[in-house]
Amino acid sequence: MLRNISLLRGHLFDNFVDSSHISADKFWSNVQNYPVKFHEQDNQLFIELLVPGFSMEELSVTTKDNTLKIESTKDQIISDFRKVINIPASYDISTADALLLNGILTISFQKLKSALPNKVKIRNKQLTK
């Protein structure tokens, strides 16, 4: 009976540490899957990213050629992440503003004036030629 318990314990331990039961890709994708939320309000685009546990000093936000790049600068393997987001051409990336509050990083962009609707005045007289 002791031999059977020893064999059973060996099989349980082997199955526990057998890497075929654990998908490294799935593990790392879950770790680096920081949700991103987009919404538009008052001619601004808002991008919200959950970054719990990060301080301002541990985050880097850069823009270039209508691309937003958000990176962590923490020296921990599991906490490191990088997001690259294409910003629509109708927004001015030079107006980027970032706010970190309660674990949520919010980045906003102003809509280009040329992308705003232009109200056309309606007249009540016919055009003369």
In three state form, how does the secondary structure of the chain look? CHHHHHHHHHHHHHHHHCHHHCCHHHHHHHHCCCCEEEEEECCEEEEEEECCCCCHHHEEEEEECCEEEEEECCCCCCCCCEEEEECCCCEEEEEEEEEEECCEEEEEEEECHHHCCCCCCCCCCCCCC
Q: What domains are there in the chain, each with its CATH number?
A: 33-113 (2.60.40.790)
Q: Which percentage of the chain shows pLDDT scores above 70?
A: 69
Does 94 score more than 90 pLDDT? yes
What's the chain's average pLDDT? 77
pTM exceeds 0.85 for this model: no
Q: What is the pLDDT of residue 52?
A: 86
